[in-house]
Chains A and B, each alone.
Chain A
């Protein structure tokens, strides 16, 4: 029941690797780290979730908040490497249609 968040930013391109479980306990850690970058103008963020083995609505909430902030500052957020389970979570909540999401099964890396 842990989370590891590694974010690297250079030339307004944010690369992130998130590992572990995102729930009510770990989501605040993720939120805090992402908040550091969400107000950068024109940020291009790519977050790799291929090692996230559990997520619930608290995680969705964090990504939605980040997505909204970055978008309103003219940036873009891409989530990649999602397992079928994770992708499903975005799909059943309707977020899959709104956000840029690349799952593992769909030509992802």
Chain B
């Protein structure tokens, strides 16, 4: 049995579905027990990733689909967003996604602008796979006790 539950969404590469994906991920994250602040972070990060994918499809003049895969563990969520419509094997794609290299992905970073910066700031781990489309793979862990988390937030 897999150590996680897997939920996959496939939406048209249109901006009106960014919010739908965001709300779904918010719901999934609250199932795992993320704090309010972390869920808000996840909403922004996933919106940025889906927005990137939608805008990429627009730039290419494609009427494609965006695939959003979410692996729900006991203590973390892994979210993968692919801007190429073909279905992907979550584990296989995850294995292929390399570490994020500033220079190699420079063009993508400029294109993504603030969006990718926010994803990296708000998530614990981010990988970008740039081949046959762009796949963003990101992870966020459930923090410890709520009290601790609040103290951290105040002090930052």
Contacts and interface: CB of A to CB of B under 8 A. Distances in A.
Interface of A: 1, 21, 23-25, 54, 56-58, 60-61, 85, 89, 92-93
Interface of B: 15-16, 18-20, 22-23, 37, 40, 43-44, 47-48, 51, 54-55, 113-115, 117-118, 121
A31 B82 CA distance: 28
The winner among A54, A56, A61, A85 for most chain B CB atoms within 10 A is A56
A58 B19 CA distance: 13
Given A1-B16, A57-B51, A60-B114, 15 more contacts: A1-B23, A23-B19, A24-B51, A25-B15, A56-B48, A57-B48, A57-B115, A57-B117, A61-B113, A61-B114, A85-B40, A89-B118, A92-B118, A93-B114, A93-B117
14 contacts: A23-B18, A23-B19, A23-B22, A23-B47, A25-B16, A54-B22, A57-B51, A57-B114, A57-B117, A58-B115, A85-B40, A89-B44, A89-B118, A93-B117
B40 A23 contact: no
A25 B114 contact: no
> Which interface residue of A24, A25, A85, A89 has the most chain B CB atoms within 10 A?
A24
